[in-house]
Chains A and B, each alone.
Chain A
Amino acid sequence: MVGPMYDFLANPLGAVRSTFDKAIGSESDPSSFDGKDWGAVDLFRHFLFDQARLSQVPILNGATINWIKPNTLVRFRGMIQDMLGNELYVGAYKDGSAWRTNKFMDISQCPVEFNSPDMRLWERRLLYCVPVPGLSSWAESTSEVAVNMCMDSTSEQRDKRRRMDIEVVDHNDFPVSGDEFEYSPSAKRMKEDPKNEGPCSSHAILPDVNRDSLPCLVKIYDSPESELKLNDVFEFVGVLTFDSELPSEKVDQDEFSNGLCDDVSVNLPPNKVPRLHCVIHRKLTGYDFLQNSPPTEPKPHLVKEAREALLRHLTSILGNDGVAAHFMLLHLLSRVHARADNVAVGKLSLNLTCISKEIASVFGTKLNIVIKNLLPFTKCIPLTMEYLNTAFLAPKKDYQINRLIPGVLQLAEGSHLIFDETCLETGTLDSVGIENTRLLKALIELQKVEYDFQYYKMEMMADIQILILSEGKSNILPADIIMPFQPSSSGSSEAVPAEVLEAWRWYLATVRSMPHTIESDMQKVVENDLVTARQADRSLGSQDFSRWLTMGRLISASFGETSLSLEHWQMVKELERLRIDRLK
């Protein structure tokens, strides 16, 4: 065979079809493909990964949606925000004497009667995906094709717009009259100025199509349910269908006058939310957001160098407060690595105290920028009375539109949150405020967020690093580490070269994902230390021990080591001593 007969990028469905025809020729019974792949996915996998053509696949986002053609292969990176259940579709049907397939397509082209033997019904999962909340600008994915696309907006703007957009999408269940979109082929429509569209729809369409943050309805074929979880960050490669031709007026109003229609297209019209028929998906880790893939092998000297430099940088940012910088580094490396009962093991939230409004104005923004530059998903929330009383922190299920309304705390695993409590003033919390403080407390203590399903609540596991800036110890957010902040200078704000930043990001991503153990003799030492400490001070409890062990783990990890050494354990004790001294 001389090269593929089909263009994977421009005509993926051709590849699907030809493999299907080949498979059906040898198998002849389409029922053997129920819930299975006939080899098309392997072909794509070979093309994308073995031939390393993944980077040639254009990335789908608000900027590229206008020029990517439907029915081509695209990539979409996003967080699974909602699961819309399963959908049945006519998978294969007999057209005359030949079997045809509708897999990876929206429109079924089959006129066959329901449930005849000439038709197979298959199932696919619907996932509503959004760009990862709080995605830093450096982590924006670019593909070779899309490099020339300019992306000038700051992430803050994006956040704001994203919220707005979701609101628009969510509450957008007014009937959209069909005549605005009808008969205009998508390619033509894209060149048109969107303002030419009807007045009633323009305000609803505009922010959805032309924007940086584009939701996507991903249709997943034949993959086990446990593979894709809510709030997971994935990269989906598949066939884009973005059919403005599909009639979007409300269907069958007589039948479903109460809006009980299950069909997602009512709430997510295909001309606003593109569909992606996923061929291959893969879970993304911190690595995948790095622009140029650096060495995956964590060489000791590279790790140490990066650690030194990063610590120096953090110290200078924090006004030469070295102890705080140490804790900050450990905090940035923390993640929940195990759960037992109600204990989330491995979390290390940090509360920098002694920060007045003035200090916050100096250091807060700097810290924010540093963290944004280092971690892929970050968010800064100034905690005010008004915010507590009005914000929607927990996601809530809206049964009217059968969707999960995202809350602020619906975040991807490994997100970083800064709560600036310095602007919090005295006031009264109403019921929303009390609920919100309860949620925040549960998040920081248990790393769980309660999702509101109206008739019941469901706890979802979270893994979110939380940094709190406050004047005194925060009671709304009881952090693991209370660290009085003592800067001796106003902190530098030297610009860091991009490649250095890249090295730091690589360092953080690598170190966080490393495994960790403890040798049995070291375990004895640690145990003895804990016992003596408790004999000396009865007020020490399991929380303190947990904190020390987490710190021990993180310190040795920060040096790129996979087991705890005595030296690092001594460092933990020394750091704790310095911290306790400051608390006095």
Chain B
Amino acid sequence: MASDSSPGRNNNGPSSPDEFASSPIGNTYSSPATRTRRRRRSTTPLPYNTPPTNQSRFATSESTPTTTPHRTRHHVSTPSSDGGPPPSSDAGDDIDEATPTFVWGTNISVQDVKAAIQMFLKHFRDGQSQGSEIYEEGKYMKGIHKVLEMEGEWLDVDARDVFDYDVELYGKMVRYPLEVLAIFDIVLMDIVSLIQPLFEKHVQVRIFNLKSSTTMRSLNPSDIEKMVSLKGMIIRCSSIIPEIREAVFKCTVCGYFSDPVVVDRGRIGEPTSCLKQECLAKNSMSLVHNRCRFADKQIVRLQETPDEIPDGGTPHTVSLLMHDKLVDAGKPGDRIEVTGIFRAMSVRVGPTQRTVKSLFKTYIFQFDEAKIQQLKELSKQPDIYDILTRSLAPNIWELDDVKRGLLCQLFGGNALKLVSGASFRGDINILLVGDPGTSKSQLLQYIHKLSPRGIYTSGRGSSAVGLTAYVSKDPETGETVLESGALVLSDRGICCVDEFDKMSENARSMLHEVMEQQTVSIAKAGIIASLNARTSVLACANPIGSRYNPRLSVIDNIHLPPTLLSRFDLIYLILDKADEQTDRHLAKHIVSLHFENPESTLHDVLDIATLTAYVSYARKHIHPQLSDEAAEELTRGYVEMRRRGNFPGSSKKVITATPRQMESLIRLSEALARIRFSELVEKHDVTEAFRLLEVAMQQSATDHSTGTIDMDLITTGVSASERMRRENLASAARNLITEKMQLEGPSRRLPELLDELKKQSSFAEVHLHDLRNAVAELASEGFVVLHGDSVRRV
């Protein structure tokens, strides 16, 4: 039945006319008797009107689609694939001639597409609901109901759903969007008027989320009139332009109002004479602005994002025409993805410009699936930790443990906020102390490049206000404005501070709050604010006197207050050991840099883009929790660390770990789990965290006189053994003074006392300033009076 209504053209569409006729939704059309057939030969090409697409030829020709579907036949230019017999059945029936409508210039039948769209809209179900609830309404039927309830104007259709349901429909939609979308709209309106015949608004379809998005660079003439999806950054928005949709004219002679004239191909056909039979005055019609219908339009310029620009190129731009609800949907600076039809617009003479007509846009800024898959594959590699370590600043060799620490900092731990309001930071702070020329700054620069929101400052140039936030006065209005400094700007990123030791006292004190509370408080010029500064601090400092003196403690080597120092989770000493091996390595490296192709020397490492993607994916999506096993290990390890300070039989109390270290350990283990893309912190993460901490502490918190780890070195700057030595010296001095000096007697000079003290075997190496310190301590007890170098017993 359906086949004889076919004129013998065999279309290669997805559903043949037979299928179409037998399909359940095809019911309205399946009976040829009720069909009104009309054949319209049209040689005009498809009208290219502007959206909304409802005024397309389909909408105009099928005024009442539900009851009397007309079929319009358009000029078919493609030769049919088989020269079938001429439509003999139509011979005697010159009015009722059933010819499938083809999309002009193609062999796609409108009916097929229509049927496919109806099938899709009515029967598409989400993956989750599929199978379980067959009787449940499809995803888009629900959507339509919702639109009707909300009196919305559009229905969002996920292009991936279309793809999943009907690959060929998707293909047609992408290749012939104007036509297919117009049919989409008609089908949608059919359904809408079936459900709610009195619904007045026009509902449009908006497609989004195409399978693949094109880069702006690869757009070329062959993409014209195709549906494309583009990512980019809005750089300019025009103001809203009213665009005429329907015009009404009034006869200036008789006052007759014309019917609304619809825009056709961007033009309004102004009637040349009054349409009223009685009047028919020539050139009398004038536009009545108040009765015309306008739609919003906006022109937006979209620019390539920096990562798509090749070396030595400048970003490309594309103009977007936004209509109706999309107007003002984005501001300059937003990163968006738009789906639309790529069209060329003629500009006066010859050359044309590129525009994308926007259909739907989403603010997605996400990884595409292939990339995620790739990253996940990567994370499954057993030695991912080592690969990442290797890939981190591959041109700086060795320092592997430092790199591991930095890696942990990049991934970060979990921030925790308790109900009580107490919060624990997840960011790991690292301090690098070391000799000049040990590539500290290069490490810093590298991390700065990798980190998603890194800020790089130098301690020498930064003041407290420059780092945190400051209030400035607007020179024109006199208003006070709060401006963010480096730490606030690197919220959720890493703030790299070079030459930390050169920073002013004032600026450093601001860091106390930032590094533990992660906020910056401002109380200035009437503005009281607390700004978030959830940033990891990566600082590097040079020792005093430019070279690290291993005899002195870290505190003495870099003049940093212990309170600040203890806020760093990891402190690494990067010392330049006079080691021929490393020197040779350096020499080799530099020679090869100069005489060989530098790229070829690196292998088996991830490039910086992958590394960045890996880090940001992990930071965003992986939030590891402590497993019971790991928690136990943490407790055990911590207790053991504490115990290490109490040697049996030793009276000195050495603190080897503090609660701050405990927190650091948790953060480090979480970061290590993140590196593996694991949601669970496991035992070996904790073990590695202990190792990292120990390596860092061994370098910085080792008491050089005893060789044990002593947290007092960090927290107070004085090790326990040093403290004991001082106590001994003080008591010896006290004994000496009690022995040798009279109460209220003549004063004696310190060097004399030193000489006498040196006679005692255990104090042979005492320095004058040590003695002075000891005597000063006695003086504070009121035992002696110290005047310059002279001591008097009171």
A-to-B contact residues, CB < 8 Å? 34-35, 82-83, 85-90, 102, 105-108, 110, 113-117, 120-123, 225-226, 229-232, 246-247, 251-252, 255-258, 260-263, 265, 338-343, 345-346, 399-400, 402, 404, 453-456, 458, 460-461, 516-518, 523, 526-528, 530-531, 534-535, 538-543, 545-546, 549-550, 553, 564
Task: Tell me, yes or no, whether B580 is within 8 Å of chain A by CB.
Answer: yes
* From B313, B314, B333, B584, residue with most partner A Cβ within 10 Å: B314
* Structural contact, A83 and B590, CB atoms closer than 8 A: no
* Structural contact, A225 and B313, CB atoms closer than 8 A: yes
The proximity string for B residues 312-337 relative to A, scoring 1 for CB distances below 8 Å and 0 otherwise, is: 11111101000000000000110000
**Cβ of A461: which chain B residues have Cβ within 8 Å of it?**
311-312
Contact of B301 among A89, A260, A541 (CB under 8 A): A260
Task: Tell me, yes or no, whether B380 is within 8 Å of chain A by CB.
Answer: no
* Structural contact, A262 and B317, CB atoms closer than 8 A: yes
**Cβ of B594: which chain A residues have Cβ within 8 Å of it?**
338, 345-346, 518, 546, 549-550, 553
Task: Tell me, yes or no, whether B350 is within 8 Å of chain A by CB.
Answer: yes
**Cβ of A456: which chain B residues have Cβ within 8 Å of it?**
233, 306
A247–B222 alpha-carbon span in the complex (Å): 30
Say which size band chain B's interface belongs to: 35 or more
A509–B586 alpha-carbon span in the complex (Å): 32
Task: Tell me, yes or no, whether B583 is within 8 Å of chain A by CB.
Answer: yes
**Cβ of A340: which chain B residues have Cβ within 8 Å of it?**
395, 593, 598-599, 601
A339–B601 alpha-carbon span in the complex (Å): 12
With A116-B45, A123-B220, A531-B587 known to touch, is A345 a contact of B347 (CB < 8 Å)?
no
**Cβ of B217: which chain A residues have Cβ within 8 Å of it?**
225
28 residue pairs from A and B, CB less than 8 Å apart: A83-B313, A86-B220, A86-B354, A88-B351, A88-B354, A106-B349, A110-B350, A117-B105, A225-B217, A251-B348, A258-B238, A260-B236, A261-B353, A262-B319, A338-B598, A340-B599, A345-B598, A453-B315, A458-B315, A523-B595, A527-B588, A530-B583, A530-B587, A531-B587, A546-B594, A549-B590, A549-B594, A553-B595
Residues 357-407 of B at the A interface (beta carbon under 8 Å): 393-395
Contact of A225 among B310, B355, B394 (CB under 8 A): B310
What is the chain A residue whose CB lies nearest that of B344?
A88
**Cβ of A454: which chain B residues have Cβ within 8 Å of it?**
235
A147–chain B nearest beta-carbon distance, Å: 35
* Structural contact, B351 and A455, CB atoms closer than 8 A: no
**Cβ of A404: which chain B residues have Cβ within 8 Å of it?**
314
Stretch at the interface among B150-158, B274-282, B437-445: B437-445
With A35-B220, A107-B350, A530-B586 known to touch, is A339 a contact of B317 (CB < 8 Å)?
no
The proximity string for B residues 197-241 relative to A, scoring 1 for CB distances below 8 Å and 0 otherwise, is: 000000000000000000001011110110000000101101101
Task: Tell me, yes or no, whether B790 is within 8 Å of chain A by CB.
Answer: no
With A113-B45, A516-B595, A549-B591 known to touch, is A260 a contact of B312 (CB < 8 Å)?
no
**Cβ of A527: which chain B residues have Cβ within 8 Å of it?**
584, 587-588, 591
B278–chain A nearest beta-carbon distance, Å: 35
A256–B588 alpha-carbon span in the complex (Å): 61
* From A230, A251, A541, residue with most partner B Cβ within 10 Å: A541
**Cβ of A113: which chain B residues have Cβ within 8 Å of it?**
45
* Structural contact, B233 and A455, CB atoms closer than 8 A: yes
* Structural contact, A258 and B45, CB atoms closer than 8 A: no
* Structural contact, B235 and A82, CB atoms closer than 8 A: no
A261–B587 alpha-carbon span in the complex (Å): 57
What is the chain B residue whose CB lies nearest that of A346?
B594
A343–B394 alpha-carbon span in the complex (Å): 13
* Structural contact, A121 and B224, CB atoms closer than 8 A: yes
Task: Tell me, yes or no, whether B48 is within 8 Å of chain A by CB.
Answer: yes
Task: Tell me, yes or no, whether B419 is within 8 Å of chain A by CB.
Answer: no
A467–B149 alpha-carbon span in the complex (Å): 73
Contact of B436 among A110, A342, A539 (CB under 8 A): A539
**Cβ of B632: which chain A residues have Cβ within 8 Å of it?**
none
**Cβ of A342: which chain B residues have Cβ within 8 Å of it?**
442, 445-446
A82–B588 alpha-carbon span in the complex (Å): 41
A342–B442 alpha-carbon span in the complex (Å): 8
**Cβ of A232: which chain B residues have Cβ within 8 Å of it?**
312
**Cβ of B311: which chain A residues have Cβ within 8 Å of it?**
229, 461
What is the chain B residue whose CB lies nearest that of A109?
B350
**Cβ of B591: which chain A residues have Cβ within 8 Å of it?**
518, 523, 526-527, 530, 549
* Structural contact, A262 and B312, CB atoms closer than 8 A: no
**Cβ of A549: which chain B residues have Cβ within 8 Å of it?**
590-591, 593-595
A41–chain B nearest beta-carbon distance, Å: 19
With A113-B45, A262-B317 known to touch, is A107 a contact of B220 (CB < 8 Å)?
no
**Cβ of B351: which chain A residues have Cβ within 8 Å of it?**
87-89, 106, 108, 263
* Structural contact, B77 and A107, CB atoms closer than 8 A: no
Task: Tell me, yes or no, whether B761 is within 8 Å of chain A by CB.
Answer: no
A276–B482 alpha-carbon span in the complex (Å): 51
A379–B266 alpha-carbon span in the complex (Å): 53
* Structural contact, B436 and A531, CB atoms closer than 8 A: no
* Structural contact, A530 and B590, CB atoms closer than 8 A: yes
A229–B314 alpha-carbon span in the complex (Å): 9
A263–B241 alpha-carbon span in the complex (Å): 19
**Cβ of A261: which chain B residues have Cβ within 8 Å of it?**
347, 353
What is the chain A residue whose CB lies nearest that of B445?
A342
Contact of B312 among A231, A251, A255, A534 (CB under 8 A): A231
A211–chain B nearest beta-carbon distance, Å: 25
Task: Tell me, yes or no, whether B346 is within 8 Å of chain A by CB.
Answer: yes
A559–chain B nearest beta-carbon distance, Å: 17
* Structural contact, A399 and B301, CB atoms closer than 8 A: yes
A231–B313 alpha-carbon span in the complex (Å): 9
What is the chain A residue whose CB lies nearest that of B238?
A258
A98–B632 alpha-carbon span in the complex (Å): 86
Contact of B221 among A85, A88, A338, A455 (CB under 8 A): A88
What is the chain B residue whose CB lies nearest that of A553?
B594
Task: Tell me, yes or no, whether B523 is within 8 Å of chain A by CB.
Answer: no
A149–chain B nearest beta-carbon distance, Å: 32
Task: Tell me, yes or no, whether B299 is within 8 Å of chain A by CB.
Answer: yes
Task: Tell me, yes or no, whether B530 is within 8 Å of chain A by CB.
Answer: no
With A86-B316, A88-B351, A542-B590 known to touch, is A531 a contact of B346 (CB < 8 Å)?
no
With A260-B299, A455-B235, A535-B578 known to touch, is A34 a contact of B350 (CB < 8 Å)?
no
A102–B351 alpha-carbon span in the complex (Å): 10
* Structural contact, A546 and B590, CB atoms closer than 8 A: yes
What is the chain B residue whose CB lies nearest that of A106?
B350
A504–B216 alpha-carbon span in the complex (Å): 46
* Structural contact, A531 and B583, CB atoms closer than 8 A: yes
A102–B241 alpha-carbon span in the complex (Å): 34
A243–chain B nearest beta-carbon distance, Å: 10
Task: Tell me, yes or no, whether B34 is within 8 Å of chain A by CB.
Answer: no
**Cβ of A550: which chain B residues have Cβ within 8 Å of it?**
594
**Cβ of B45: which chain A residues have Cβ within 8 Å of it?**
113, 115-116
* Structural contact, A545 and B587, CB atoms closer than 8 A: yes
Contact of B352 among A88, A453, A517, A564 (CB under 8 A): A88
What is the chain A residue whose CB lies nearest that of B243?
A255
